[in-house]
Every structure is written in C-alpha cells, then in structure tokens.
Amino acid sequence: MNNYESHRQEKLAKEHIARKKRFIYQIALWLSIIVGIGLIVGGMIYFVSRQNPALINSSATIESAFASDDWIKGNKDAKTILIEYSDFQCPACAFYYPLLKKISEEFGDNLAIVYRHFPLPNHQGAKPMAYAAEAAGKQGKFWEMHDMIFDNQSKWVAQSQSKIKDIAVEYAKSLELNIEQFEKDFGSKEIEQKVEGHYRDGIKAGINSTPTFFLNGQMLQSPRNYDELRNIIIQAIDENF
Amino acid sequence: MKISKTLIIIFLAASFIGFLDAAYLTIQHYLGVVPPCAITGGCATVLTSAYQKIFGIQVALLGAIYYLALFLLTIAYLTSGRKALIFLAALATPIGFIASLWFVCLQLFVIKAICFYCMISALTSTTLFVVGIMIIINYRKPMLTKTAAQNNITK
C-alpha cells in the first residue's frame, strides 16, 4: 500500500514537472513568435522608410540638353536640369506634381525643370491629356493646362476615352484658349508624334515606371519624399559651382 | 484521425506569405509612400483607388490582420493539438476567398488595372480556402465514422 502511495506521488510529481515544462515551452514559443513578427514588421518599416542611399542610378542616362520643343520651367540657362517623364493619369505623378512646384519655387533660377510625356499603355486617358497639354502649349498655356489636368485628375480619371476629350475642351475653355485651334491641334499628327517620340526616348533610356526623373542626365531612383528630392538637387547644384 | 501534416504546412506557409504581403502594403500606405506607376501593372492605380478602404479602414490592414490570425491559430493548433483551433481557422477562409474574388473583379472590370501585390494576396487566400475546405473534410470524417466516445479515446 505504502509502495503504491509513493509510486502514485512520484507519478504525480513527474506529471507536475512535465506540465511545468510544457507551460514554459509554450510561453517561450509564443514569446519568440511575437518577437519574430515584431522584428519582421520593424524590418519592413525600416526598409520602406529608410532614406535611399544610392539615389542616382548611374547605369541609366539620357541626353541632358533640351530639345527645341521641350517645356521648361525655371531658368533655361541653369546648369542643373531636372527632366521628368510623366503620365497625366498616374496617381504617383499627381503626388509629385505639388512637390515639383515647390522645388521650382525654392530653387528658382538655379534649376530648369523639363516635362516630357510617358503615357503608360494601361492608362487610356494619359495620351489624350498629353495631347491637350501640348495643344494648350501651342497657345502658350502648357503649364496652365498641365496644372489643371493634375489638379483634377481624380475627377476625369474614371471617364471613358471619348469623354476625356470633352473634359479637355472644357479645361481649354476655362483657360480662355481658342477652342477651334485647340481642337485642331489636339488631333494633329504633329502633337501625336511628339508624344510618341517622348515615349520612345523614354523606353530607350530604360524607363519602366512613372514618374522617372533625370538629374543632369542621370536617372534617379524614385525619391520617396520632398526632402530626398531636394537634397539630391542641392548636391547637384553644389557640384556645378 | 490526424489532419495531414502537409495540409497544415501549406496552410501555415500561405497565411505567412499573405501576412508579409499585406503588411508590406499597409506599412507603405501609412508611411505615405506612393508606389510609382509601372509599365507592366497598375499598383499605383489600384492602391490609390477609392476601393482601398472599407468603412474607412485600409483593406491591406484588414488583410494583414486576417492572415496573422490564421497564422497564429495554426501555430496554436500545432502546439496544443486542439483540432478546434485549425477548424476555426479553416472556417474563416471563405471570408478571405470571397473578399479576394471581389477585389480581383474590381481590378479587372472597374479599376481596370492589376496590382501584383493584390494578386499575390488573391493567390494565398485561394490556397488557404482550398486547404481550409480539405481540413474541414478531414476534420468531419472521424466524426461521421466513429462514435463520440471513440473519438474521445483517440484524442
């Protein structure tokens, strides 16, 4: 009987230890899972938010000089030239649009900003809007149209291609353009070829997304925010002095 | 009857990949990073569209929570052996599957742009759904064939 009792107690003690071990094991496991997930999420936050160390992609370059029909904002004789390949329908381009405005205001005569077209094939409204901006440019209001298109991007982006032209004409009216001339230029071969030419040059330069920036001919890995863009421009201006 | 280990491992892996994918998009959104528009796809279009939120909550965030919950339930099942946990996870998979189906349709027919990250999520949630159904069948079988008492013994 005594033997049986001690045997039973021994068994209970063993079970107790085993249960304790299991408990510790469980806690250790869940703690390491929580820490592991925390590390993964933390790592991703670091990866997404870190400042880009190599902003310049030296393997992709483009001719830095202006073409005669380029749209230039700022000082045409500036030594620092920022070329943007952009798509009017791209939300990321609309995101950069106010940043570039601010850049242009901040750097004034020290910088020339060039706008070139890169209408992505999956954006049906990008080409018509590029034509609209060019047609407005024929009447000296390229940048005004450019601003209007980006300001209203969310309003026209869901419209069908045929409606987009009507919307462009509305914008032309509000800019007090000659509508007859605007419509003629909008459908002209010359403008179509210009936009197509920009796109082809962009492809040749290795562009695969918009917006893509070239600073003095060298492609930038998309700067993530205003400060990144600003710092790299300051650097380029300093180098040119 | 034990639920096949392979099924559990696929379930675990799919929920983990889904979590990484959704967490990445969530982090990008809340840090204010704007994805560029690529020639090949429309992530920027999709991720900035009006459909990125449900009741004011980021879809990506909901996805991350969903995948993480499935992942943790699977781990809890593996450590405790309680089948109810994996059964619960399997029961939740149709929610993710239907949501993914809805978002794929939105991308194809309404937004008319395809986002790579959203497609990965569609793939993981479909995998989870298929495996989930298999787990449910696996789980129900012993109940149908054995008596409750026998079932208790096997536990």
Q: What pLDDT does residue A5 have?
A: 85
pLDDT band per the 50, 70, 90 thresholds, residue A162 = confident
ipTM of the complex: 0.74
Q: Which residue has the higher pLDDT, A154 or A61?
A: A154
Quick one: tokens of B6?
Answer: 């392979």
Distances (CA, A) of A61 to A58, A84, A87: 7, 13, 20
Q: What pLDDT does residue B143 have?
A: 59
Q: What pLDDT does residue A235 have?
A: 86
Q: What pLDDT does residue A173 have?
A: 93
- β-strand partners of A213: A84
Q: What is the pLDDT of residues B2-22, one digit of tens each?
A: 678 888 999 999 999 999 999
Contact of A49 with chain B, judged by CB distance below 8 Å, is answered with yes
Select from B67, B82, B89, B90 the least CA-distant residue to B17.
Answer: B67
pLDDT band per the 50, 70, 90 thresholds, residue B144 = low
Q: What pLDDT does residue A88 have?
A: 93
Q: What pLDDT does residue A225 have?
A: 77
Please answer whether residues A156 and A167 qualify as being in contact, where contact means their C-beta atoms are separated by less than 8 angstroms. yes
Q: Is the pLDDT of residue A199 over 60?
A: yes
User: In percent, how much of chain B has pLDDT > 70?
Assistant: 77
Query: Mean pLDDT, to the nearest integer, of A119-139?
Result: 91
Q: Is the pLDDT of residue B95 over 80?
A: yes
Q: Is the pLDDT of residue A49 over 60?
A: yes
Alpha-carbon gap: B92 to the closest alpha carbon of chain A (Å):
21
Q: What pLDDT does residue B42 have?
A: 62
Residues B124 and B96: their CA atoms lie apart, in Å, by 9
Q: Is the pLDDT of residue A167 over 60?
A: yes
Please answer whether residues B7 and A179 qualify as being in contact, where contact means their C-beta atoms are separated by less than 8 angstroms. no
Q: What pLDDT does residue B103 have?
A: 85
Q: Domain extents for chain A? A: 1-50, 56-240
The rounded mean pLDDT for chain A is: 87
Restricting to B residues 93-132, those with a Cβ less than 8 Å away from any Cβ of A are: 112-113
Quick one: tokens of A94?
Answer: 């609309």
Q: What pLDDT does residue A38 have?
A: 94
Q: What angle do CA A73, A78, A81 make, to 5 degrees?
A: 65
Q: Is the pLDDT of residue B151 over 60?
A: no
CA B115 to chain centre: 17
Alpha-carbon gap: B145 to the closest alpha carbon of chain A (Å):
32
Query: Mean pLDDT, to the nearest integer, of A184-192?
Result: 92
pLDDT band per the 50, 70, 90 thresholds, residue A47 = confident
Q: What is the pLDDT of residues A53-83, one digit of tens each?
A: 556 666 677 776 777 788 999 888 888 999 9
Size of interface A-B (CB pairs under 8 A): 69
- Inter-chain CB proximity B37 and A209 less than 8 Å: yes
What is the topology classification, in CATH, of domain B5-154? de novo design (two linked rop proteins) (1.20.1440)
Contact of B39 with chain A, judged by CB distance below 8 Å, is answered with yes
Q: Domain extents for chain B? A: 5-154
pLDDT band per the 50, 70, 90 thresholds, residue B139 = confident
Residues A82 and A218: their CA atoms lie apart, in Å, by 9
pLDDT band per the 50, 70, 90 thresholds, residue A22 = confident
Residues from chain A contacting residue B79 (CB–CB below 8 Å): 26, 29
A78-92, A148-162, B42-56: segment of lowest average pLDDT: B42-56
Q: What pLDDT does residue A226 have?
A: 83
Residues B54 and A167: their CA atoms lie apart, in Å, by 30
Question: Under the phi-then-psi rule, with left for phi > 0, alpha for psi from -120 to 50, and beta for the rest, what region is A108?
Answer: left
- Inter-chain CB proximity A45 and B31 less than 8 Å: yes
Residues A19 and A143: their CA atoms lie apart, in Å, by 74
Class (C level, CATH) for A56-240: alpha beta
Residues from chain A contacting residue B68 (CB–CB below 8 Å): 37
Q: What pLDDT does residue B73 have?
A: 94
Contact of A91 with chain B, judged by CB distance below 8 Å, is answered with yes
- β-strand partners of B117: none
Select from B69, B49, B67 the least CA-distant residue to B58.
Answer: B49
The alpha carbon dihedral of A158, A161, A162, A168 has a sign of positive
pTM: 0.70
